[in-house]
Amino acid sequence: QVKLGQCGSSPPLALWQAAPTASAGLQKLCPKFYHRPQAANPVSLSLYYESLCPGCRGFLVTQLFPTWVMLSDIMNITLVPYGNAQEKNVSGKWQFTCQHGEAECRGNMIETCLMYQLNDFFQSFLVIFCMESAGSVVENLEACLQVYAPTVQLAEIKSCVTGDLGNKLMHHNAELTDALKPPHNYVPWILVNGVSDMVGRQPEPEVQCRVHGKQGLEPMTFSSRTQACCP
CA distance 47 to 59: 10
Average pLDDT, the chain: 78
Task: Inform me whether the pLDDT recorded for 219 exceeds 70.
Answer: no
Task: Check residue 92 and report its DSSP letter.
Answer: T
- Domain residue limits, the chain: 40-227
Supply φ then ψ for residue 58, to 5 degrees: -65, -40
- What is the distance, to the nearest Å, from the Cα of residue 204 to the centroid of all Cα atoms in its chain? 23
Q: Return the closest-CA partner of residue 76 out of 44, 36, 124.
A: 44
Strand partners, 79: 47
Q: What is the pTM of this model?
A: 0.78
Render pLDDT for 61-119 as a digit per residue (tens, 0 to 9).
Answer: 999 998 888 888 888 999 999 999 999 999 999 999 999 999 999 999 999 999 999 99
Domain 40-227 class?
Answer: alpha beta
